[in-house]
Amino acid sequence: MVTTHRRSVLSDANDDGRAGGADGQHRTLADSATAVLHEAILTGRLPAGTPLRLNEMADLLGMSMSPVRESIRRLAALGLVEVVQHKGAWVMPLTVEDAVDTHETRVAMETALIERAATRFTAQDARRAEAALDEHVAASTRGDATAARRAHTEFHFTIYRAAGSRWLLRGLEPVWENSERYRFATVTPTGQNEERLREHRAILDACVAGDVAAAVAAVQVHIQHAADRVIGKMNTDAAAVPAARAAGHAPIGS
């Protein structure tokens, strides 16, 4: 039953076109395995703590263990998977402590990036960021979470690329990917979607205006609100478990 469930999980992850070759570009087997597992982890289809057994993953993905092993290595480099020699690999847990650390690190790195970006922002950067923001809104409206996530990432990284710092961008990537796991684990009410759009617009407007102080303030508020949503949800969920046990109900997933 577990194998059947995971086969469905990975099939769902592959349906978004990341690993299926919909863009017409050639991908190696390791690229394909990485794309499918990456999407499944970010969206919670492979929940925190899920063991990633090479033979099982290879069977489910329809390939040998070698490309799967390489994909797990890549995901470990992004901080999404933990690998312990002679013990195996599993999806990294989600904890309040890690969520706090992740968002504090984002504040430090994204502040440094936007300070530079706001002084170098061009009309072309603005058009690209605007297009990504429009796509994020459209995808969210039609309920396409995968497309919305990609557009959200493209919006932020379009701005940060304007900073011209290769190393800051490379350093931010694993932190951002980990942050996305927490964002997917948080259900955002409609009112908060509108709030997030205002925050994104404030970030973009400040960059277009070349207002460094406003850009820094806007991105810090945006990240802090994201952290508040994530940590609030995790604390609420944690409090619900003993309450359910006290009432004589087993928590979901127990």
CA distance 177 to 57: 21
pLDDT at 16: 41
pLDDT at 139: 93
The H-or-E segment that residue 114 falls in is helix 96-120
pLDDT at 42: 87
CA distance 253 to 237: 12
pLDDT less than 50: residues of the chain: 1-5, 12-26, 243-245, 249-254
pLDDT at 248: 54
Q: What angle do CA 120, 173, 37 make, to 5 degrees?
A: 145
Phi, psi values for residue 71, rounded to 5°:
-65, -40
CA distance 21 to 97: 38
CA distance 81 to 38: 10
pLDDT at 1: 40
SS3 of 162, please? coil
pLDDT at 9: 54
- Note the pTM of the prediction, 2 decimals: 0.77
Phi, psi values for residue 62, rounded to 5°:
70, 40
- End-to-end CA, the chain: 16
pLDDT at 193: 82
